[in-house]
Each structure stands twice: as C-alpha cells, then as structure tokens.
Structure 1
Amino acid sequence: MSTARRASFGALTATGVALALVITGCSAPSSKPAQSDGAAAGGDLVIGVTSDPDTLFPWKATQFQAVNVLQNIYGTLTEFDEDLNVVPGLAESWDVSEDGLTVTFHLRDGVTFADGSTFGSEDVKYSLDAIAAEATAAVARSSLASVAGVEATDEKTVTVTLKTPDAALPANLAVINMAMLSSDDTEEGLNTTPNGTGPFVMEDRTPSQSLTLAKNNDYWGDAALLDTVEFRVIPDESSIVSAMQSGNVQLAVFDDPLVAQTAEGANVTVATTPQLSYHALQLNATHGDLADVNVRLAIQCAIDRQEVLDTAALGEGEVTGPITSPAYKSDPDARPCPERDLDKAADYLDKAGKSDGVTIKAIVSQGEYATSVNEAQNLKAQLADAKITLELEVLESGAFVDRWIAADFDAAVALNGGRPDPDGMYGRYFTSTGNLNKVAGYSSPELDALFAEGRQTADPEKRKEIYAQVSENLEDNAAWIWLFTSYTYTATASTVDGFVPMANGSLQYLRTTSIK
C-alpha cells in the first residue's frame, strides 16, 4: 500500500480529543457544512448503486445503501466533519456539568421537517427516548446506555442526565441511526414517506430501480447545490462503469479495485479512500461447535488474512485487528496466531475433541459489496486445509441483513461499518446488555467492565489502554475473525465538483456537490 494512502488516516487521530467534550465540559462551536467556492447551483446527479435500500427508517438501517440515502434526508444532534471530528449538527452547541453527568444541548433556530413542521426539544426527547426503548429495536440503542433521562427544558433546550460520564456520546449521536425524528411520525409512515431535517427530501421511488432526492430549500444550513440526486440501481459494478462511460451515471462508489481501474478514463476520475469499515468472519459463539473457544481459535489459526486480502481485493488494504478507529487502532499482530499456523489449528481442534474436523455453515451477502463471495471462497479453501468445512449460503443483501439481525447464522462473511470511537463500534455488540449482542454471539464480565470504563474515562491515553485490552480479549477468545480493512473508490464524471469522500463511507457531502 502506498505511503500516501497510509498518511490519509493521519488527520483522524485528533478524534480522541474531540470525543472528550462531553466529559470536560467544553462547549462546541457553531458549525455549518462547507460548500465548494464558486460552485454553480442546479443540475441533476445520478449515482449508480448495486442494491435498493432495504429500509427507509433510520433507526433500523444497517445496509450501506440505506445509510447512504438516509444520511442525506435526516439530521442528527452532532455531525462528523470530513476528518471525522465531532461538530455541531441540529444542536448548535452543548454544555457539560463539572461532574460530567448533565449535558445540555442548545438547538438551532429555524429548523423544520420536510412536512413543514417545526423541529424542537420535544422531538429530541421523543427520539432519544424511543431509540433507548427496547421495544423500538433501534440498532443504536446501546449507545444511550449511560442516559438516565431526557428533559425538554424549553423549546430549544434539551437536558440529558447521565448515569455515568460518557466520553463516546458526542460521536455516537452523529450516526444516522441516531436521527432526530418528528414526534408525530411512525415507522410505518416513514418507510413510505421520509420526513427529515436534512439537505434533501425524497421526491420519488421505484422499488428495485431508483430513488430520487430533491433539494430541501428549507434546510437550516447552506442549501444543496444539486436540484436532484437519483440513486439508480444497477446490479453489478461493471455495469455501473459502462453507465458512467456512456454518461448515464455521474458518480459511483466501488469496493472492487479491479472495477475501479476499469472506470478511470478521460471523463472519469477515481479517488481512493481508506475505510474504517472492516471485513470479518463473524462467529456465533452460542451455536454448536463454535461455543468452544478452541474451535474458534482453530479457525483463527487456519486463516492467512493477507491471502484473503490478496485474493478478494488485490491486496488493496491492510490486515486488521478488531478496532479500526485511528486513535485506538488494534495491533493485528497481537493475536494468538498472527500468521497462519495449521499445527496450532490442529492442536486447538484436539483440545476441543474435534480432531476429525468440524463443519460450519456461513451466510454470505451478494450485492451489498463486491468482494464478499471471493472472500468466502478463499476462506472455505483455507479452512479445508485444517479439516474445517465452511458451507456457504449466498444471499441477496436484503435477505442477508434479515438473517444477520436475527442472528440466524453460525458464521457470517461480513463487511461492518467502523466508527471513530470504539465504544460506538463494539459496545452494542460485545457487552451482555448490548442490543446487538445476539448478533455478536459473545460477551463476558471482563468486556462489560472494560466498555463501562472506556465510556467513563476522559483521558485519551487511558482510553487507548482500555480499548487495547478490549481488543486483546476479543482476539484471545476469537469472538470473530477480523480480516482486513480496504478502500472505497469514488468515481466521478468530469462534470462533478465538490464531493468529499469520507473514511466512514458517508455520502454526506452530496450537499456540497455540484454539476459543472
């Protein structure tokens, strides 16, 4: 991997400091999204995507395509800038009490929902209370585990009382799963007609074909430059390249480096961006043979991660440990088998009483990202050398997400989104009360204590030590098999200006994009 690509993560290391705002009692300055200097307003942009969003309800969105659409329709209390620093969103500032147990959010004036209704403190209270309620089944519920209560103090002020200080709260509030919804809306209604405070509104949708957003002229920040953005469903990345070359598509984000190479040409440029998202073989430690840590460790030792990366993504990326957040990044060599070791794999199977081998069923998504099936096939071939049979079930992305959310799998070949703060990445998975712990299939009292300590600790260096222990615990118990991080390749036509790719995969800078 080139030096330039490695260096592009450097600007993110300040994130650990930004996250401490909620503990130290600092107020965040007011901020608005930037726009391209001198960019002309108007125009219609077509983005090529391989799958239709599987939901339009932001609190339950896990599919990348759904997230990319919804983050342009809805707003959050805080946001990330292009370097993933936490900045104001619908809350223009916030104050923290000296003991770190009270956070007061000051909301922006003049914010309205797409239906024209006014956004205010009652909507924030409704949204945070509903996200925290188990019955809602919100995928980010655990990010509010430290919240004891939410009060709409007045029309533009919200007071959040915490059980313990929470250093991760500002970053956790910035993800689209924490979108602020109108207290008058329902999940059923929003899945048909989204009603957000973002820079775009939904104009039209033809399921499995296209979804079109239109500029929100009443957006609280600088109005988007584009008139419309169409997400056009084209089933495979190679076909999207053809559509770009013929001028029918102006922007696409690829994850297959070979496809990205074919896209670049006289009228199309490709930007390479390292990602916080990570590829993993997720193991459900509550199922069958995988309940034995020795079987999981045998799988870990039987895999050459670099070979998976080379086979599936032409070596474009890095072997990774669990935490990809730049300020807390795991050492991929700090695991029981940093290199493939078939002798150790055999020893672990012997300890499990499975010297004749085991069979593991794995689900694989086809359509959500391009390298999935190649990853799965390589993992299957490698594990066969260790008498571990991986039986693959390839599913379209919507069916995969349904099975994944229900934890209806023994193993899953998956690409998971990373976050700037490790609590947001894994607190919902690997704590016993985490709302996605059923999906993770693993927790322990030690991890519960470490995650609690990480949330309550303001000092960035101490937090690094805590999350290094989290990473060690996950690797030593082979909770999952972390494989590699890779890149996204953003292809834009020569007529497109002002789009900023981000390390978290966000398309939020469609708001500053224009057509020349």
Structure 2
Amino acid sequence: MPRGALSAVGIAAALSLALTSCSSSSGSAPSAAGSAQGGGTLVVGVTSDPDTLFPWKATQFTTVNVLQNLYGTLTEFDKDLNVVPGLAESWQASEDGKTLTFKLRQGVTFADGSAFDSADVKASLEKIKDEKTAAVAAASLSSVESVEAPDPNTVVLELSGPDSALPANLATVNMAMLSSDDTEEELNAKPNGTGPFTLGKRVANQSLTLTRNDKYWNEKAKVASVEFRVIPDESSIVSAMQSGNVQLAVFNDPLVAQTAQGGTVNVAKTPQLNYHVLQLNAQRGDLKDVNVRLAIQCAIDRKQVLDTAALGEGEVVGPITAPAYKSDPNKRPCPTRDLAKAADYLAKAGKSGGVTVKTIVSQGEYATSVNEAQNLKAQLAEAKINLDLEVLESGAFVDRWVAADFDAAVALNGGRPEPDGSYARYFTSDGNLNKVAGYSSPKLDELFAEGKATTDQAARKAIYDQVAAELENNAPWIWLFSGYTYTATAANVQGFVPMASGSLQYLRTTSVG
C-alpha cells in the first residue's frame, strides 16, 4: 500500500490526454480474472451523514465518498491520479481537437438491471449542462456544443475548441453517468448507478450500507458490504476503532491520528490536494472593496493557522495545489503577515475604524474547522477586522454555501489534478458556482479559456501561474494551507489505497480478514 506518495509526473501525464487517444484493456483496476470475491462487512467511521444522494449536486465530502462507490464516470483516476478509462474504454480527438469520440464499454448495467449505452451518456451530459439541473460541475462542459450518439456504443462530443481539461474533468462523481430514465427525486430515494456497490440499508444520521454489485463491469469488490457509520467526532471514531466496532476511518486532525496509532490500528499519512481557505464573498458589503479583502489577506499569518489548527502538519499554499501547476505561496501582496500594510489597505477603503465580517464555519465535516476560525478571528482582531463567527452543522453549512448566503466562509475545498476543474466553475463569469465565489474578471475568463485550449505542459503552467496571480492580487479568497489525511485501518483490513484527492474509490479493493 502506498504511504502518501504523490506523483507529479503521473498527474502531468494525466492532463495531456484530451487531444490524443486513450484505450485500455483492463481499465483503472486489475482485471477480475485473478481475483477472488471475499465477504464480510467493512465498517467505515464518518462524522456526517450524506446530505444528498444525487451525484450531480454532491459537494459534501462524505456524500462524494459514498456516491463515487455507487456510480461510474466515463473516465477515472488511478491511484497516481492519471486519467484512465472508465465507462468509456477509449477516446480519440480529431486533428483540430474540436471533436472527441468515446467508445463505451459493452455489457455494463445499472443497479436496476437496465443496460448502459450512449443514450444514457447523451442524456447525462445534456442535463448536466442544463442550468435547470443546477449541477455543480456544469462549467466543466462549457466547451461542449453538442452530444451525439450515432450508435449504442459511441458518443461524439462537438467542442467549441480544443479542451485539454475535459478528460480529467469527466472523472469526478459530479459527472456520473445516470440512466436516461431516472429523475433526481427517484435517485435521492434509491441510487441507480454502475459502480462497484449498490445502496443497501440507510438509517438517517446513523448509517448507510452499500452492498457489493456482482454485476459490476470491473473487478468485483472484496467485501460483501460497506457500512458508513455516522459518529459525530473523530475522537469517538478512534474509540470505536479501538473497541473493534469500526475498521476504517480517514481523519483530518493530526492529534486524533496520533491517538489512533498503535495496538490494532495502523495509520497512513497522505498529502492532499485539498486546501483550507477563508472564502470572501466579493459581492457582499465591505468585501466589495478589494482593499478590504487585501487588508484581510495581509493581516493573516498562514503558518500560525497551520500550526494552531493542524499542529504544523502541512504547508502554506497558494490557489493551485496540483503538483504540475502548483502556485508559489510567496507570490502574493503580503507573503508574510504585515499589520501595517493591512492598516494601509483599510485606510484606502475608508475603513480605518475597522470592519465586521459575518463568517460561517462548518462543524462536523472536518475536524480543524473551528480551531482555524478561532485563530483567524484572533489574528484579524489585531487589525480591527472582526470575524463574527456562526458555527453550523455540515448540512446547514453546505446549504448556505451553495446559496452564497454568507459574507465569508471558513472552508476545506477538495483539490483536483486539473486546475480548470478546480476553479473555472468559481472564477469565470459564466461559471455555475460563480455566485459562491462572488468574483470574476475578463482577465480570468481569458486565462481559463486559454488554459483549456493549450496542450503544452510548460505553457499551461505559465497560464495557471497568471490565474493564481490574478486571484492573489484581488483576494476573493485567502488561501491558507494544505494538510494531510490520516487513514486508520484495523489490523485485519488490507488493500485500501489512500489517494491525494481524498477519494475512497479503493474501498472496492479492500478486504477484511
């Protein structure tokens, strides 16, 4: 089992596939030929209950982790975050990059037994693009002008221009392929996917059980079922593991991870692409003024937030965390805390007396949130900036966040190996989550379009460096740090592969002795 290895080379390779062909005889996992089905139930401890079972609207971490085991996508990521075939066994771009043709796997079925084919892909992609659906990843399909299904096993995407980000963007569960016959209401009651598991029993706010899908097209899951058991805090999950009631959990809090290690519990530490961030809604109140936002940026010692909330376990980061495109955290107006400069920015905004920013904080979705918020509040108070904190349970936080009903939010955002997938939906003028970010500009629109149309790795890096500079210089968000996840497994658990994306997709290769 890898212990936190993250391949920048692998990620770079994953992003060069849009204008080339890709095919595989084995997909993203070992073939089923040499595998033996196991049995038993794997109990996974989680701190929150999924807030939806509809994959196109999933943003909460637990929700994403559950749904990615129920649904399939056209492409997938392997353990090194290379883009590999999923429900599409191959794809080929035209010479001008404006047509992308997918060949689908044959013999794939949904959980209800119905066949998966090109009509389902066409319907799924068109519905994701439709504003009425409110799909959170709709912006990732902005280059797609039409979807055609010339035969049951072929899908042709006509693009407005070359889109080197598209194969990677199609690999997220927000791009899950659904049956053309299903509705959001039906799927929230009973998911119907093509993944390695199907939904078993659910008890709201207590547990959700997945059962092995013996008709899954790839290697069958090693366990008969996986139970996601809701336990409100990470320390209580450790107790449940030590008593043998939970076999696997992923922690964010390094102190909790330290208490878990030892005896019958092993802990693997994995660096993450996700990032901790103070999101400022640039359309609200005093935050409309860039000088107020820059004052907040200059008044924060990011290393202090990291040390206080995560025991220094991680690194200060800029906007882009993917190794192939990583931002330099020192390239910002205030690379280190500068209270004098913060005061100057407030004076420019006519706010020398200070400002108050109402800030929402999630409690329960990740362990360090409240400590981060309290440290930020203490630091900013020294600059006459008052964070008025409102702590919410994770479901209420997500509802407020999606509705952009906040001035500021202390958040942990999932990172991706593709910068376009991470940020185009937030910071472009037509991005479907732009109201959450509250900021866009013609310059950013131009840069994101250029980044998608470019295939040369070095040229793309230079473009996304400009994206990072534009974001830092206008401070719509204050990027803080990236940390680790700590995967705790009981001694009798084998085969789970932690990923830098935080994905739990390798529950399908996990066995319980």
TM-score, normalised to structure 2, is 0.98
Counterpart secondary structure, 2:202: strand
1:73–1:198 contact (8 Å) kept in structure 2: yes
In structure 1, C-alpha distance between the alignment counterparts of 2:25 and 2:361, rounded to whole Å: 43
2:258 to 239, 251, 261: 261
Whether 1:157 aligns to 2:192 is: no
What's the CA shift string for 1:275-328, capped at 9, x where partnerless? 111000000000010000000000000000000000000000000000001100
Question: Which residue, out of 219, 223, 230, partners 1:222?
Answer: 219
Deviation at 1:80, TM superposition (A): 0.0
Aligned to 1:34: 29
Matches within 5 A, 1:439-458: 439-458=436-455
Is 1:92 aligned to residue 93 of structure 2?
no
Q: Distance in 1 between matches of 2:315 and 2:449?
A: 29
Return the match for 2:13 from 12, 17, 30: 17
* Cα separation, 1, equivalents of 2:335 and 2:267: 33
The question of 1:412 aligning with 2:409 is answered yes
**C-alpha contact (below 8 Å) 1:31/1:87 kept by paired residues:** no
Q: Which amino acid aligns with 1:391?
A: D
Question: Match of 2:267, as an amino acid?
Answer: V
Runs of 4+ in 1 over 2 A off after TM superposition: 12-18, 25-40
Q: Secondary structure at the match of 2:22?
A: coil
Structure 1 unpaired stretches of 5+ = none
Correspondence for 2:229 among 227, 232, 242: 232
Deviations 1:246-270 (CA, angstroms, capped at 9, x unpaired) = 0000000000000001111121000
Contact 2:46 2:231 in 1 (8 A): yes
Q: SS at the partner of 2:189?
A: coil
- Name the TM-score, length of structure 1 as normaliser: 0.97
Q: Distance in 2 between matches of 1:391 and 1:229?
A: 40
Q: Between the two proteins, what is the percent identity of the paired residues?
A: 73
Q: 1:65 is matched with which residue?
A: 62
The residue aligned with 2:457 is 460
Among candidates 196, 200, 203, match of residue 199 of structure 1: 196
For the structure 1 residues 515 and 39, does the alpha-carbon distance in structure 2 shift closer, same or farther, using more than 3 Å as the test?
Answer: farther
The answer for the alignment partner of 1:246 in structure 2 is 243
Which whole-Å CA distance do the structure 2 matches of 1:114 and 1:433 have between them?
35
Please point out which of 381, 391, 394 is paired with 1:394.
391
CA contact (8 A) 1:17 1:460 kept: no
1:180 matched to 2:177 = yes
Say if 2:274 and 2:412, in contact at 8 Å, map to a contact too: yes
Give 1:141's match in structure 2, choosing from 138, 143, 156. 138
Offset of 1:40 from its aligned partner?
Answer: 6.1
Q: Distance in 2 between matches of 1:394 and 1:205?
A: 27
1:437 to 414, 434, 438: 434
Alpha-carbon contact 1:285-1:441 (below 8 Å) kept: yes
In the alignment of these two chains, the number of paired residues is 510
Aligned-partner SS, 2:48: coil
What CA RMSD, in Å, does the superposition of the two structures yield over aligned residues?
A: 1.3
2:285 aligns with 288
How many Å separate the matches in 1 of 2:512 and 2:35?
12
1:346 equivalent in structure 2: 343
Alignment partners' CA distance in 2, 1:12 and 1:195: 35
Shift of 1:153: 1.2
> Aligned pair in 2 of structure 1 residues 280, 28: CA closer, same or farther (>3 Å)?
same
Query: How far is the alpha carbon of 1:31 from its aligned partner?
Result: 3.2
> 1 CA distance for matches of 2:402 and 2:51?
13
Cα shift readout 1:367-417 (whole Å, capped 9, x = no counterpart)? 000000000000000000000010000000000000000000000000000
Q: Secondary structure at the match of 2:362?
A: strand
Aligned to 1:330: 327
Structure 2 CA distance, aligned partners of 1:140 and 1:39? Answer: 36
Equivalent pair of 1:14/1:327 in contact (CA under 8 Å): no
Deviation, 1:83, is 0.3
Distance 1:261 1:21 in 2: 40
The 2-side partners of 1:223 and 1:61 are apart by 25
- Is 1:56–2:53 an aligned residue pair? yes
1:42 positional shift? 1.1
* Match status 1:106 vs 2:103: yes
What is the CA-CA distance between 1:21 and the residue it aligns to?
1.6
Aligned AA for 2:331? A
Structure 1 distance, partners of 2:222, 2:294, is 52
Query: What does 1:470-509 correspond to in 2, within 5 Å?
Result: 470-509=467-506
Distance apart, 1:334 and its partner CA: 0.4
* SS across alignment from 2:18: helix
Opposite residue 222 of structure 2, the aligned amino acid is L
Which letter maps to 1:350? A
Report the secondary structure of 1:21's partner residue.
coil
Instruction: Describe the superposition over 1:57-95 as per-residue Cα deviations: whole angstroms up to 9, x where unpaired.
Output: 000000000000000000000000000000000000001
Q: Are 1:131 and 1:138, in contact at CA under 8 Å, matched by a contact in 2? A: yes
Give 1:38 deviation, angstroms.
Answer: 7.0
- Alpha-carbon shift at residue 39 of structure 1 (Å): 6.6
Shift of 1:46: 0.3
Structure 2: 5+ residue runs without aligned partners? none
Distance 2:8 2:185 in 1: 38
CA distance in 2, matches of 1:103, 1:447: 26
